[in-house]
Amino acid sequence: MLRSLRSSDTPADVAVLLLHGYGSSEHDLAPLAPLLGLDAPWASLRAPLELPGGGAAWFPVTTPGDPEAAPVVDATERVWEWVDDTLGADARIIPVGFSQGGLMASQLLRTRPARVLATVILGGFVLRHPQPADDELLASRPPVFWGRGADDRVITEAAVERTAHFLPRHADLTERVYPGLAHGIHAAELDDVRAFLQKHASAAS
């Protein structure tokens, strides 16, 4: 069972889904919701794997930047179960994820792309293993924002290279690399995310 912070209990056709990084919590990205420029309800989920110190993770860290597939697939299925049970089986989402949460945002797109209006990956990467909707994405090329810091030393070079190969082929990609930014999010990136969502998500909804 996933825990969440929610802006509204009113059913909606589209909802923003905030997905935090490793060792953080559902409180981490919640302050970003009003900064995204969308008039939509939002939910900030807590990852299912509890960690010492009160944080949580979507999947264990084994090889940095190259997680095993099974725990990621399990976490992805649990998020979709939460979406179906809480938002409804027809609801569409806009996943916004940071770090591990960025990988989870890409997983939601790579499993049920028809349910994903636009995807935002911040300081994240994609899973090495093929996913069910990858071939569909080759044709549909949905909008994806991928932002990362030029000085990020947390996400491995191999993970960045994998993502840089995958996303342009499977998405209408908006890619931004921010000089001076390490593994984090700053105001300029949020400005770009807001512009991306206003262009793609607002128009589609």
The dihedral through the CA atoms of 177, 181, 185, 186 has a sign that is negative
Confidence of residue 13 (pLDDT cuts 50, 70, 90): confident
How confident is the model over 71-83, as a mean pLDDT?
97
Q: Higher model confidence: residue 144 or residue 203?
A: 144
Contact 124, 52 (CB under 8 A): no
Contact 166, 121 (CB under 8 A): no
Q: Determine the Cα–Cα distance for residues 195 and 12; give it in Å rounded to an integer.
A: 22
In a domain, 115, yes or no: yes
> In residues, how long is the chain?
205
How confident is the model over 197-203, as a mean pLDDT?
82
In a domain, 29, yes or no: yes
> How many domains is the chain built from?
1
Q: Say if residue 1's pLDDT is above 50.
A: no
Helices H, strands E: what count in the chain? 5, 9
In a domain, 205, yes or no: no
In a domain, 87, yes or no: yes
In a domain, 138, yes or no: yes
User: For residue 115, what are the domain limits?
Assistant: 3-200
pLDDT in tens, 122-136: 999 999 999 999 999
Query: What pLDDT is attached to residue 7?
Result: 65
Q: Determine the Cα–Cα distance for residues 13 and 92; give it in Å rounded to an integer.
A: 6
Query: What pLDDT is attached to residue 5?
Result: 66
- pTM attached to this predicted model: 0.95
In a domain, 37, yes or no: yes
Q: Say if residue 152's pLDDT is above 80.
A: yes
CB neighbour class for 182 (10 Å; exposed up to 12, middle 13-18, buried from 19): middle
CATH number of the domain that residue 163 is part of:
3.40.50.1820
Confidence of residue 3 (pLDDT cuts 50, 70, 90): low
Q: Say if residue 194's pLDDT is above 80.
A: yes
